[in-house]
Homo-oligomer: A and B are copies of this chain.
Amino acid sequence: MSKSSTKAAIEPAEGRTPPRERILDAASELFYRHGIRAVGVDAIAEAAGTNKMTLYRHFESKDELVAEYLRRLAGELDAVWCELERKYPDPRQQLIGWLRVVGDNIVNPKSRGCAFANAAVELPEKHHPARCVIEKHKAGKRLQITQLCKKAGAAKPELLADELFLLIEGALVCAQSLGANGPAARLVRLGETIINSHLK
């Protein structure tokens, strides 16, 4: 009785985007919200409006899907950073802008901290395919902040950068236990003070 036509009529919009993207979208949301180990591939396939078989046609394994989830997210965060670069030509304003982005993220009730740090906690196995993605992304970010501190004219750019880096990481993870109104709430002001004292 033309069951297929009925289905096509019910969910036409979601069928437009290719399944690989839908799977990555669903995986991203579920992995971030509930945790990587807490989400099964069946749940991802169903949330993506497809099935497990199609999922495994596009991704070798769940571990590879996790790695791809983080790779795509890293690209998106790089884009955010580029936009910040365009918006604020001044390196000091760029640093403060990044503090604000993180601060806004912490205030967001949907926030669950840094997806990369969370993945590092959930995947301690040294050879997990997501591990190198995590390390590469964090190392890149540290380098970016360091260069920004250098451009801003800091006397000890590496020191300032690492201090800001630790502050940001701390605020993101701290908000997961003590909420957005705990110590994490002071991230932006604290960061600004530190930047000002280093760039006199």
Contacts and interface: CB of A to CB of B under 8 A. Distances in A.
* Oligomeric state, in copies: 2
Contacts of A113: 121
A76 to B, nearest CB: 18
A116 B170 contact: no
B124 A112 contact: yes
Given A167-B167, A167-B170, A121 B35 contact: yes
A99 B149 CA distance: 25
A189 B167 CA distance: 14
A190 B124 contact: no
A165 interface: yes
A170 B121 CA distance: 13
Contacts of A135: 177-178
Interface residues of A, number: 43
Contact of A177 (B34, B35, B138, B170): B138
Nearest to A171: B166
A26 interface: no
Interface string A114-126: 0011101110100
Given A35-B121, A159-B186, A170-B171, 19 more contacts: A33-B124, A35-B124, A37-B37, A37-B38, A37-B122, A38-B122, A112-B124, A117-B121, A134-B177, A138-B178, A139-B178, A162-B182, A162-B183, A166-B166, A166-B184, A167-B170, A169-B174, A170-B173, A172-B173
Interface of A: 33-35, 37-38, 112-113, 116-118, 120-122, 124, 134-135, 138-139, 142, 159, 161-163, 165-174, 176-178, 182-184, 186-187, 190, 197
